[in-house]
Structure 1
Amino acid sequence: MPISERNGVKIWRVRDRKAQFLRWAAWMVGVMAFILAAKTISDKTEWFYVYTASDAANDILSRAFPPKWSYINQLWRPIWDTFNIATLGTIFALLIAAPVAF
């Protein structure tokens, strides 16, 4: 039911049949679109990868932790390069975005 205010007092009005039907039809179209999208996504999903995702995550985490600190000396240069690339990318993004923002 739509609510309107008149002189600060809320007034409830019953919708007419056409407005009620259009509202119901819009909800049905939305629900059908959601179901169609879910079915399409489900049909295109490779469920094997979904079922084995926990195994892959466990494998990655078991190899990442605990870290091998003896290897850190070989990583300083790539870490520094990554930091520089991120900094330059941020600066360029600011230079491009600043004129557009104002």
Structure 2
Amino acid sequence: MVFTNIFNPRAAIRKMDQVRNTLVKNHATLGAICTFICGVTIGSYAFVGAGTVVTRDVPDHALVTGNPARQTGWVCMCGERLEEDLVCVKCNKQYICDPESHKLTA
């Protein structure tokens, strides 16, 4: 993985006063060579695909891929991609998506 620490770096100019933290929450999965622009939060149980460039926050349980990252689905706590009905085929856990906040809950 690649984590940046300054949004607009310049080698010749010291900008350590502009360092931004990146937060990766519990149980998130980060694919090979994914890149994170500083200041984002990766939610719990989120799944970031290989080679993805994350430029904004990733919600809990979200599956993101591409450059820039786009949400392409949801992921169960057990790591399986959820079907459209938000039921896990591996562990049978069922999730509900709040239409207003677009957050997933078990």
Same fold, judged at TM 0.5 (above): no
TM-score (normalizing by structure 2): 0.17
- Larger RCO (alpha carbons 8 Å, 6+ apart): 2
User: Greater share of helix residues, 1 or 2?
Assistant: 1
TM-score (normalizing by structure 1): 0.18
- Bigger-Rg structure (1/2): 1
